[in-house]
Amino acid sequence: MNHLRVYTDGASRGNPGYAAVGIRILVPPDELIKEIKKFIGITTNNVAEYTALILGLQEALGLRAKRVEAYVDSELVVKQLLGQYKVSDDKLKPLFEIAKNLVTHFPEFSLRHVRRSENKEADRLANEALEEVLEFKN
């Protein structure tokens, strides 16, 4: 699988609050090969967004992708990784470094900011993971 599209989303109920990630990996144009939903503990939405991207990139690396298109609905994450925003939050700095390092493993990489409406399935997965944990707690 040389070319993959990775859609990621992080969600937090409260900020910080219960958090989860949703990831969809596709072979273009739209062949779904993997979905991931995972509760990641109590953290902020921005940490969840970075965590989702990192996990998605790790999956793509494990699948030996050469070309990766990442789609993220967090403008902050995208602009920080593209060097348009400075990373000032100490909690985000190590996640930023991990993501930047992962990107270097792909000969071709692109990162695009998408609206939430264009990332519905990753958002659904993150929210399903949250709902499963919240139902278990109640």
**The domain that contains 74 carries what CATH number?**
3.30.420.10
Q: Looking at the domain assignment, is residue 52 inside a domain?
A: yes
Angle at 59 between CA 53 and CA 62, to 5 degrees: 145
pTM over 0.85: yes
Please tell me the predicted confidence (pLDDT) of residue 135: 80
Q: Looking at the domain assignment, is residue 106 inside a domain?
A: no
Of the pLDDT bands very low, low, confident and very high (cuts 50, 70, 90), residue 137 is low
Residue 138 has pLDDT above 60, yes or no: no
Q: Looking at the domain assignment, is residue 97 inside a domain?
A: no
- The total domain count for the chain is 1
Please tell me the predicted confidence (pLDDT) of residue 134: 82
Q: Looking at the domain assignment, is residue 33 inside a domain?
A: yes
Please tell me the predicted confidence (pLDDT) of residue 1: 75
The parent domain of residue 72 ranges over: 3-89+115-137
Residue 30 burial (C-beta neighbours within 10 Å; 0-12, 13-18, 19+): exposed
Which tens digit of pLDDT belongs to each residue from 53-98? 999 999 999 999 999 999 999 999 999 999 999 999 999 999 999 9
